[in-house]
Structure 1
Amino acid sequence: MRILVLANTPAHVHLYRHAVDRLEDAGHDVLVLTREYACTTDLLDFYGMPYRVYGEHGTDRYSKLKFARELGGQFFTIGREARRFDPDVIFGRGPYAAYAGTLTRTPVVLVLDDEPTAFNHTISRPFANCILSPRVTRRDLGDDHYTFDGFKECAYLHPEVFERDANVREFLGVEPDEQYILVRFNALDAFHDTDLEGFKPHQRRDLVERLSEHATVFVSDEGDEMDFRDLPARPYELHPALIHDAMAEASLLVADTGTMATEAALLGTPAFRYRGTDDREYGEFQELERAGLAEQFDEYAAVRDRSLEILTDDDVPARWQQRRQEYVSDLVNLSDLLVDVAESRGAIDRLSSSTRQTLQRKRPEQAQL
């Protein structure tokens, strides 16, 4: 079989990397189509995944006009590469995967989450043969929409697939018993982030200064705007493939971005997300809050003060790990599911009965449009 994967962001690389390895080991041909965005191609190189680049996307503040200008050239390259590869099934999300599938007359599998904008869902849904999303996704996307117990991040952070690198503290230059914090500042450059604002510059500085009184602070600044010259913090400079290892060892993650907050929560690290001007609701975060693994804040002072409180509670690490063990162990290993769906060419009725049992058809009463 020939499997085409559209991976547009670092998170997409992690989503598919274990499935790609297993499909290649089984003798299938796999190609990843990607764009130059943040560390996406760095990750593809690190994991040895076969890929071709169809375009690029900068980390400057995004605009609809710039998005429109980029789109035409990217679609042309995706179409050319998809026809050349001639896939049997396509994985992805949004208009890119839908277009590739339509052009090559290939079954399309969309792997979605509770994305805030309806644009990607609306434009790609009519072209999908199968849509997979976490059970907590609020949208009903039709008869071909199936849900699973878990999160997209379970493809690489499920206990069956994630094993932390024991050397990560040495790589970071921290002692075995040294408490450290990861702070993540979002560039907010994606199309769906237009007009959103996370931590303001003075809040970033205040947060780092206050946290540094209790622990070593590492800052991952996606927009590369932070000036560290007189700041009591270190830039996070490890290879991006090690971020989850670093996250698993951290005492706390504070972020104004969604993916890393979800990842930290699933690893049993307290995950605090500052919403800033983002007032949209996400089923994933609501579920993680219910499980006691993540917290969201509308006010800057609240996330700062709660962070300081958690750092002085010696019982927090054991409490969060216990919650993680009780919650995550029952979730679906998404990489297993992706491999099975790929080998069935996106046809749910061809899956084994045991695999079908991990899926539920989305019911209208579950959805919130």
Structure 2
Amino acid sequence: MRALFDVSHPAHVHLFKHAAAELGGEGHDVFVASREKDVTTDLLDAAGIAHSPLTGVCDGRYGTAREWVAREGRLLRLVRRFDPDVVVSRLNPAAAHVSRLLGVPNVVFHDSEFAGLLERVTTPFATVVCTPAGFGRDFGERQRRYEGFHELAYLHPARFEPDPDALREAGVDPDEPYAVLRFVAMGAHHDVGHESLSPADKRELVERLEEEAGLTVYVSSEGPLPADLDDRRVPVPPEAVHQLLAHADVYAGDSGTMATEAAVLATPTARFNPYGDEMGNFHELHEYGLVRTLHGVSDFVDAAVALATDPDAGDRWRTRRRDMLAEKVDVTAYMLETVREVAAA
């Protein structure tokens, strides 16, 4: 089998890395088309996955449009040259369009009900759209639902094991109480019209976790931090962030992805959500009791501090995680089964 993975975002690296590596290890021909965005290529390099960057983020008013037009052209040439049996992507319009044009099956993974235009220009061209069972949209016969979350492709116990030595190598004591915070830049297509935490809000959250809970605070931020918080940036390399999350006493932030990652790792999680609606995966995570989502800043900060000062929170989250895992699948195993089936059809 010849499989091409289109990886255009750091989250896609985590989603597809185990499947790509396993197929390659079985002797299949695997090609990864990457993109110069944030730490995408760094994560691929750290995972030992060979890849070829096709494009990078373009600035300016029409930068995204220019980049994706260029990506479609370069991907078209690549697919003609590599001649894959299947193309695998995460809601990537270029991959879907090129695959349809050349008659190559395209498996799309999708988990956000708020993808808007990106969804409308991608899913009609896909052969198969794989979504979590609780996903709130219907794509007809091409849709396949599975019991899981994207994050269980790389954080399921079959794929991830906490390793305290990985933190010690980065200078972090895994036995020291600490919090992990994540602040997003609110620059994605689904963020338009919404505002998240202000510098003053971030400062209050850090100060209260340090002073009231007695925690060391590590901050991951897409954008600039207030100057007085810059020394709290996470000290581990990007590929070790999940180890940092797994050993944390609490996670708090406005990132949906990292909130889900923390939750499935049994780290007590407080999430700030500036949107009025909710994604299907969070409805499920709320039912399991693995995430507390707040829409007001004061309530969010209070919830984070309450979890950080609750000595029983960790035990509750571990019990709830076991309940969740009993009902969910190893998403990488599901992905491999689907890719093999579609490629052979």
TM-score by length of 2: 0.94
The total of aligned residue pairs comes to 342
Structural RMSD (CA): 1.8
Q: CA deviation at 1:152?
A: 1.0
1:182-331 counterparts in 2 under 5 A?
A: 182-213=180-211, 214-223=214-223, 225-228=224-227, 230-231=228-229, 234-276=232-274, 278-331=275-328
Contact conserved, 1:261 with 1:294, CA < 8 A, in 2? yes
1:163 offset after TM fit, Å?
0.9
Q: 1:98 aligns with which of 77, 96, 99?
A: 96
Query: What displacement does 1:169 show?
Result: 3.6
Determine whether 1:44 maps to 2:44.
Answer: yes
1:197/1:295 CA distance change after superposition, 3 Å: same
Q: Could you say what secondary structure the match of 1:210 adopts?
A: helix
1:232–1:90 distance in 2 versus 1, CA, 3 Å: closer
3-state secondary structure, aligned to 1:207: helix
Q: What residue is the counterpart of 1:341 in the other structure? A: 338
8 Å contact kept, 2:5–2:87: yes
Counterpart CA distance in 1 for 2:338 and 2:36 is: 28
In structure 2, C-alpha distance between the alignment counterparts of 1:222 and 1:16, rounded to whole Å: 22
In 1, distance between residues paired with 2:244 and 2:203? 22
Any gaps of 5 or more consecutive residues in structure 1? 351-369
Question: 2:306 and 2:231 mapped to 1: Cα distance?
Answer: 19
Provide the rounded CA distance (Å) in 1 between the counterparts of 2:41 and 2:125: 27
| Percent identity between the two aligned chains | 37
Amino acid in structure 2 at the alignment position of 1:23 = L
Structure 2 distance, partners of 1:272, 1:66, is: 34
Contact 2:245–2:267 (CA<8 Å) still a contact in 1?
Answer: yes
1:136 is matched with which residue?
134
Q: Which runs of 5+ in 2 are unaligned?
A: none
TM-score, normalising length: structure 1:
0.88
1:273 deviation in Å?
1.3
CA distance in 2, matches of 1:264, 1:271: 7
CA distance in 1, matches of 2:66, 2:16: 28
Deviation at 1:346, TM superposition (A): 4.8
Cα offset for 1:295? 1.2
| Matching residue of 1:367 | none
- Alpha-carbon deviation of 1:76? 1.5
Match of 1:356 in 2: none
Show CA shifts across 1:46-85 (max 9, x none): 1111211111126x8x85x332232222221121222221
Q: Distance in 2 between matches of 1:188 and 1:51?
A: 28
Retained in 1: the 8 A contact 2:135–2:280?
Answer: yes
Partner AA of 1:130 in structure 2: V
Contact preservation (8 Å) 2:33, 2:54: yes
SS at match of 1:332: coil
| Partner residue, 1:11 | 11
**After the TM superposition, which residues 20-169 of structure 1 pair with which residues of structure 2 at under 5 Å, given as runs?**
20-57=20-57, 65-92=62-89, 93-169=91-167
User: Does the aligned pair in 2 maintain the 1:217–1:232 contact within 8 Å?
Assistant: no
Work out the CA distance in 2 between the residues paired with 1:176 and 1:200: 30
8 Å Cα contact 2:68/2:94 also seen in 1: no
Relative CO higher for 1 or 2, CA cutoff 8 Å, sep ≥ 6? 1
SS in 1 for 2:140: coil
3-state secondary structure, aligned to 2:33: strand
Deviation at residue 172 of structure 1 after TM alignment: 4.7
Q: Distance in 1 between matches of 2:124 and 2:111?
A: 17
| Equivalent residues of 2:268, 2:290 under 8 A apart | yes
- Tell me which amino acid in the other structure corresponds to 2:232: R
Q: Deviations over 1:4-59 (max 9, x none)?
A: 1111111111111111111011111111112111110001101111211111126x
CA distance in 2 between partners of 1:175 and 1:52 (Å) = 36
Deviation of 1:104 (Å): 2.3
Deviation at 1:162, TM superposition (A): 1.1
Q: Tell me how far apart the structure 2 counterparts of residues 33 and 138 of structure 1 sit (CA, whole Å).
A: 30
